[in-house]
Each structure stands twice: as C-alpha cells, then as structure tokens.
Structure 1
Amino acid sequence: MKVHQIQVGNMQNFTYVVEDEETDEAIVIDPSWDLEQIEQIIQRNNLKIKYVINTHHHFDHTLGNEGMVKLTNAQIIQHEKSELKHDIAVKDGDVIEFGNSKLTVLHTPGHSKDSMCLIGDGKIFSGDTLFVGNCGRIDLPGGSAKELYHSLFDVLYSLNDDLILYCGHNYGNSLTSTIGKEKLTNFVMQKRTEQEFLDMMGQ
C-alpha cells in the first residue's frame, strides 16, 4: 500500500491518494482543495480510483468530493453518522477493500460525531482525531471532549505502537509519526482520568 501525502489549501490539510501497488486500484482520502495535484498523481501512476473516503464531514475534508467523483466516477464512503451526501455508509469494524489492500474502519467520535480512522498495512489515517503533537478541536458542532477521551484511550491507545500515523492536517513538527511516538510525546495522549482530560480541554 503506497501513500501519496499532499498538503492542500490554506488550512494545512492533507489529502491522501493510497494505492494498491499490485493492482493500481486506489482511494482518495479527504479531497478538498488543489484537485489538480491529486489528478496529476492519479494520472502519473495510472491509478483507478475506486472510492473517495472522508474521515469526517467538515468542509475542509469534503469540499473536493464532487470534483473527484466527476474525474474518477468513484463512490463516496463516509461514516453512517455523516449527514452529507455519500454512496456507502460504514460503521466501526467495517473493512474497505481496494485491489488487494484493506482498511478497517475505527469509529472515533470527539472532533465530530462521524469521525473515523482507517487502519491497515501498518498505517493509520486519523483525520482530525489525532494530530502529530495534538488532537482535533472539540468546540465545533458535534464535538465532545468526553467522546474524544474514549476514542483516544479506549481505541487508539491500544493500537500497535509501530503504526505510522497519517493525520488530517500538517500541524505538527513532522509530516507523519507513529502511535508509539505520540503516546510518548503528545500531551493529549498522556494517561489521565476522564475528568482531568475534560478539564484540560476546557469542557
């Protein structure tokens, strides 16, 4: 599974083109701005885009959906709690297949009700649930520090330390990280009680 990480727009978003190298089938995660860059990667590598996948519904992760669909005829996948237009709804534990590659859906609410991470082939695409050195904000509609606490500590904290972290924005001091490194260095991933986490997050 080869990952093309592209920074787009003026909010330091990442869009990902993830290709199955055995079949040239691929997915696009969180298209928003600068679609011509995405198109160039698709064409240069002769990729067939099977799905457009959104880690959550916020506009800076979904703005390019229609443009990508026009370009590729791909189907849009979102979590079942998303209220945006999509073709396929997924829930926790579902598996998304493209080529010979598979990504498993982890429902990780907190930043939004429909936030999800995708895990497979030693990688995790975390959207705005977890950043390098931080986490997604919880002050937007549908945000919840309590839900984020459980997503971080009941779901992500127990994952393999070696998983490479690909997040939704370039907000940290490196483009990627690992779950293990974030457990050591990310202040939001330090063990604390739920109440201590809520206090820290101002809720």
Structure 2
Amino acid sequence: MQVITVTADAETFTCNAYLVLGERSVLVDAGAMDGVVDAIREHTDTLDAVVLTHQHGDHVAQLDAVLDAFDAELLAYSPHPRRDSPIADGDTVRIGDEEFEAVHTPGHADDHLAFIGDSTIFSGDVVVHDDGAFDYGSFGRTDMAGQSREELIDSIREILARMPDSVENMYAGHGEEFHGEVRDVIETALERAEKREPKYPE
C-alpha cells in the first residue's frame, strides 16, 4: 500500500490530503490546495473513493474539484450534498490494500472520524505526531466554538482502546507522517491533552 501526501507542495494552509494506492485507490481528505487534482493525476488516472475525516474547510475546500475530476464515491460521517454513503462508528472501509475501522472521534469536530487498520492509522486532526505546539505527540485544537477538550480526550482514549499494537504508520491531518511506536505518540498526546492547559499559550 502506497501513501502519498498530494498536498506536500502547498504554499497556503491546508490539511494533509493522502492518496492511498492499492487494491482500492482512495483519497483521505481533499485538502485546500489549488492544483490537488493535478497532483493526484501524477500518480493515478482513477480514484475509487474520497473518505473524509471531517468537514472543516482545510479538509474539504477542494472536494468539489476532486469529485468533478474523478468518478469517485464520497464517504463521510455527516451529510454532504455529494455524499454517496454515510460512515458510522464501527463501519469498515477499504483504503488501499487494508480494511480500516471508522472510529467516531469528536472533540475537534463533531463529525470527526479516525480510520484504524492493522498497520496504519489515519488520525485526522484528533491526534497528530507534530505541529506548531508539540514535536512528538500533539492533539487537535479545542478552543473554537463547538469544540470540546473533554470529548477530544475521550476520543483519544477510544483510539488507544481500539487500535491494535501492530499499527506502526500514522498519517495525521497536519504535521509529518510517522513510522514507529505509534501508540507511544498517541499516549504522549493524551497525557498533554489531559493537563487541560491551553494548546497555544498566549
């Protein structure tokens, strides 16, 4: 299974949009980078599906462009005008060559999903390896309207409870991809989130 960050060359703010090639070609989030369709076409002419971790603007701004360019199915937790299939907590989704369990992980966003497989997690924004706040084990921001630190803490705990120890690849909505002791990264993020301190001190 090959995972390509098709927004890697973005010059403006976007999430990481991941093109996963294998038995089923899937884009995890569409991002907000102009030219993402061209970046996808550098690697494949077909796209079977787009799955969304959540529908914040930096994850879906280019969604219409991607769906217009490819005859791809759209899967998401919450309704979207172009959604073909809903994804509920516990559903299984094939991404690339692997089956992933969808885990509802609110806190950063009410509709947030993480996708957990045997070797890989697409964690969206609920937990990341690195960002502007922490370099090893960080968590999604919860200081904006509709967000909840308590829900996010519960979501990270749920990921740890449902994630097999065999997971060694972490692809988050922001920051760098990580390969190694993914559980340790997520446990570190949980410890930081549980302190209930502002993520970005003024």
TM-score range, shorter chain: 0.7 to 0.9
Deviation, structure 1 residue 53: 1.2
1:129 maps to: 126
Equivalent residue for 1:166? 171
User: Take 1:37 and 1:75, find their aligned partners in 2: how far apart are those partners?
Assistant: 17
Query: Is contact 1:162-1:179 (8 Å) kept?
Result: no
**Equivalence for 2:64:** 66
Closer/same/farther in 2, CA of residues 46 and 154 from structure 1, 3 Å limit = closer
The answer to whether 1:77 aligns with 2:75 is: yes
Counterpart Cα distance in 1 of 2:172 and 2:72 = 22
Amino acid at match of 1:134: S
Which shows bigger deviation, 160-169 or 31-40? Answer: 31-40
Which residue is equivalent to 2:21? 19
**C-alpha separation between the residues in 1 aligned to 2:125 and 2:95?**
23
Structure 2 distance, partners of 1:142, 1:108, is 14
RMSD: 2.6
Deviation sequence 1:28-58 (CA, Å, 0-9, x none): 11112335345344x3433421111110010
TM-score normalized by structure 2? 0.79
Alignment partners' CA distance in 2, 1:137 and 1:98: 26
The equivalences for 1:102-141 within 5 A come to 102-132=99-129, 133-141=137-145
Could you say which residue in structure 2 is the equivalent of 1:149?
153
Contact 2:29 2:59 in 1 (8 A): yes
- How many matched pairs? 187
Q: How far, CA to CA, are the matches of 2:96 and 2:31 in structure 1?
A: 24
Retained in 2: the 8 A contact 1:15–1:28?
yes
Distance across 2 between alignment mates of 1:120 and 1:61: 21
| Residues 26, 47 of structure 1: 8 Å contact kept | no
Task: Specify every segment of 5 or more residues in structure 1 that has no aligned partner in the other structure, as ranges.
Answer: none
| Residue type at the aligned position of 1:46 | T
Which position in structure 1 is the counterpart of 2:27?
28
Structure 2 vs 1, CA of residues 50 and 104 (structure 1 numbering), >3 Å: closer, same or farther? same
Distance in 2, Cα, partners of 1:40 & 1:141? 33
The Cα of 1:189 is off from its aligned counterpart by 2.0
Mark the CA change 1:28 to 1:158 in structure 2 (over 3 Å): closer, same or farther.
closer
Name the TM-score, length of structure 1 as normaliser.
0.79
What is the CA–CA distance in structure 2 between the aligned matches of 1:55 and 1:183, rounded to whole Å? Answer: 17
1:5 aligns with 2:34: no
Q: Name the SS of the counterpart of 1:200 in structure 2.
A: coil
How high is the sequence identity, in percent, across the aligned residues?
Answer: 25
Please report how far the alpha carbon of residue 61 of structure 1 lies from its aligned counterpart in structure 2 after TM superposition: 0.3
